[in-house]
Amino acid sequence: MSNETKQVSIDTKTIPVLRSMSRLKELQHNPLEFLSGLTAEFGDIVQIKLFFWPVIIINHPDYIKRVLQENYRNYDKNVPIFNLFRPILGNGLVTNYGGESWLRQRRLMQPAFHRQRTAALGTIITESTRQLLTQWEGPASRGEAVDVADTMMHLTLNIVGRSLFGIDITGKTHTFGKAFSDANAFLLEYFNRPFPPLSVPTPRHRRFHRDVRSLDKVVYEIVQQRRASQEAHEDLLSMLIEARDEETGEGMNDQQLRDEVMTLLIAGHETVANALAWAWYLLAQHPEVEQKLQAELAQVLAGRPPTIEDLPRLSYTRMVFEESMRLYPPVWIIMRKSLAEDTLGGYPIPAQTYIAWSTYAMHRHPEFWERPEEFYPEHFTTEQVARRPRHAYIPFSHGPRICIGNTFALTEAQLVLATIAQRYSMKLVPDHPVTPNPLMTLSPRQGIRMYLQAR
């Protein structure tokens, strides 16, 4: 027998590559359907070319778990999708690449989102929602349609302002919301045609910078008013202002505060607002689900306003919202970059490679969902959840960089759903087009116009 050492080679799988330029053009025109179609054509991993960059698209819970949790330190957020929104968000918690800087930010803000603190905010959520119901009395009595998507934006922005920053920004929600909507749409267009540089003063660039200045004006006013206030506050804004660097003892400057407040205002209202809008849209199309929801609300609440303490018994309300986020996840695409070599399911991942996946596609993967294309809240019964891989459903991402406000968002959404559904049923305006618009979040392109029917 030979004493010669034998070299044992480990075979790795070859990632399929999409080379069709005509297919890649679909990514610009209909990214949701394009990304969903890749699984049927190539399986759960494929490489495409996005402009100059090779990007590996994954669509399997095990691969996503590897990137977000098992080897998360190897994957940072220095990627085009997040860098695209830096002109708006700056270096806030969402766009921070990672490492010690991000960890300090996360640790600083985490206490503000503790479950006990979230529970104390329930009254603010229901009070704000009941104020909206009062505003709706006129349109409802006159039989006028309302844009539910737009209304949810104003509602959640007001809730975030009161809950996290202790301020009433009702009078500024229209200005802030429109400026962000316009800037958001521009950035998606710019992502598809990134020329000339934003520093070149073209008419559309000047409009974009004007929108950012409008956003800044609202945020800086919030910061300056609080700095000048002599009153004691126990909210996130006070925590940010009073925070001190452990080494230097210095607090945040106005730019740092601006980035964090801007991030939390936008991320804290935009995602929940869109998810709620899609929930009303889906309920209007599925009266059998709405009937089950109404039955639960009648049994548990008996006509009184919901409270935080009611949420454990409002299980179907939660299932309705979770199923809405499954079909229309606010954060519809996530991206990372590998820092070193890795493998995903036996496929080699080179260093400095972009990895992306669509939660919209993952949430409709036929291998993991009983009725992938249907609105079926029973996907979220205890039994169904236990049978499903954890990373098959990731509306708030997962791992160490899971959305810091996920508990707050779920609490807010359930209370808003329960409060409004007690008072109104909603019917879609006939022939009004409703199509998903994949911007920073997944919003309805033309809004969602609905008639309010008092219960």
Same domain, 131 and 164: yes
The residue out of 394, 417, 437 marking a domain boundary is: 394
Over 50: is that where the pLDDT of 5 sits?
no
Across the range 129-138, mean pLDDT stands at: 96
pLDDT > 90: percent of the chain: 75
Same domain, 261 and 156: yes
**pLDDT, position 11:** 56
Across the range 149-154, mean pLDDT stands at: 96
Over 80: is that where the pLDDT of 235 sits?
yes
Whole-structure pTM value: 0.93
Find the CATH number of the domain harbouring 371: 3.30.43.20
The residue out of 361, 377, 394 marking a domain boundary is: 394
**Do 356 and 331 touch, CB atoms closer than 8 A?**
no
Same domain, 28 and 165: no
d(CA 361, CA 232): 46
Q: How confident is the model at residue 1 (pLDDT cuts 50, 70, 90)?
A: very low
**Residue 245: which of 111, 400, 108, 112 has the closest Cα?**
108
Over 90: is that where the pLDDT of 12 sits?
no
The residue out of 379, 394, 409 marking a domain boundary is: 394
Across the range 356-373, mean pLDDT stands at: 97
Same domain, 135 and 272: yes
Whether 5 maps to a domain, the answer reads: no
Same domain, 59 and 87: no
**pLDDT, position 114:** 81
Q: How confident is the model at residue 153 (pLDDT cuts 50, 70, 90)?
A: very high
Half-sphere exposure at residue 141, Cβ-oriented, CA atoms within 13 angstroms? 6
Same domain, 234 and 259: yes
Same domain, 270 and 173: yes
**pLDDT, position 166:** 87
Same domain, 442 and 421: yes
Whether 267 maps to a domain, the answer reads: yes
Hey, which of 224-228, 288-292, 401-405 has the most confident mean pLDDT? 288-292
d(CA 155, CA 270): 10
What average pLDDT does the chain have?
A: 92
Whether 30 maps to a domain, the answer reads: yes
Indicate the annotated binding residues: 403
Structural domain boundaries enclosing 361: 11-76+332-394
Indicate the annotated binding residues for heme: 403
Same domain, 103 and 198: yes
User: Domain total for the chain?
Assistant: 2
Same domain, 324 and 353: no
pLDDT > 70: percent of the chain: 98
d(CA 38, CA 41): 5
